[in-house]
Amino acid sequence: MGAFLEQLQKVWPLVSQAGWQFATLAAAIFFAGWLLGRFMSNERIETLKERIEAYKEKTGGATPEQASARIAELERRLDEAAYDPRLLKPDQLAKMAKALSGYPAGQLMVSRDAGSAESIKVQAQVVKFFKDQGWSVKTGATMGISNPPPSGIVLFCREPVALTINMPAVRAALDAGGVPYEMRFTKPHPQVEALQLNFSDAEDGFWPR
């Protein structure tokens, strides 16, 4: 401001001689500045309006509070969908490991029904568990089993039982962990594993969420 006044003092003699011309020029500059400010203000307002309209389109006209509530609800549903009630809890795994420690490491196939998407996670968890205990574990997929139990878990043991030395160990682990399963015996077959733990879809409501 001080610099502007100094410059004005220097040219004041000229300004005083051309008063009307200077006043007209000053008025024109002021008006141009006012128009520019008004234009920029209108531009900002229009930009804000466009942003608001875009927000309303994306959120269905919801307020920020309503949008936040919707996002929270969607996140809750996503977490619920990702939750698998059949996954074994840490305390179950600890009990199973303790029970299994009383037996020598053996061999086991852990399979699942190829059409059972809900069995993918628990199959992977059980495979990792037995491998961590030093067992030799194979994985596979079946084309469904006849009359699956409500739990969707079956332990197949190939006869004669005497040849399946690992069966007592697996049963002890499952029982210790409180894992509901059905025991079934199969006829000898060269392409059938001696011991197979199979997962398939459980009945609705069997595993509480």
- pLDDT attached to residue 30: 47
Residue 11 clears pLDDT 60, i.e. is over it = no
Confidence of residue 24 (pLDDT cuts 50, 70, 90): low
Written as one string, the DSSP assignment of 168-205 is HHHHHHHHHTT---EEEEE---TTS-SEEEEE-PPPTT
Q: Rounded distance, CA 154 to CA 110, Å?
A: 10
CA distances from 140 to 88, 90, 109, 150, 205 (A): 20, 25, 7, 21, 26
- pLDDT tens-digit readout, 123-167: 999 999 999 999 999 999 888 788 889 999 999 998 776 556 799
Cα angle vertex 37, ends 31, 39, to 5°?
Answer: 100
- pLDDT tens-digit readout, 31-74: 555 455 555 556 666 777 777 777 777 776 667 777 777 776 66
- pLDDT attached to residue 118: 86
* CB neighbours of residue 193 within 10 Å: 19
- pLDDT tens-digit readout, 64-91: 777 777 776 666 555 554 556 789 999 9
Mean pLDDT (whole number) for 161-181: 88
- Higher model confidence: residue 68 or residue 203? 203
- Higher model confidence: residue 2 or residue 186? 186
Q: Rounded distance, CA 97 to CA 129, Å?
A: 8
- pLDDT tens-digit readout, 114-126: 988 889 999 999 9
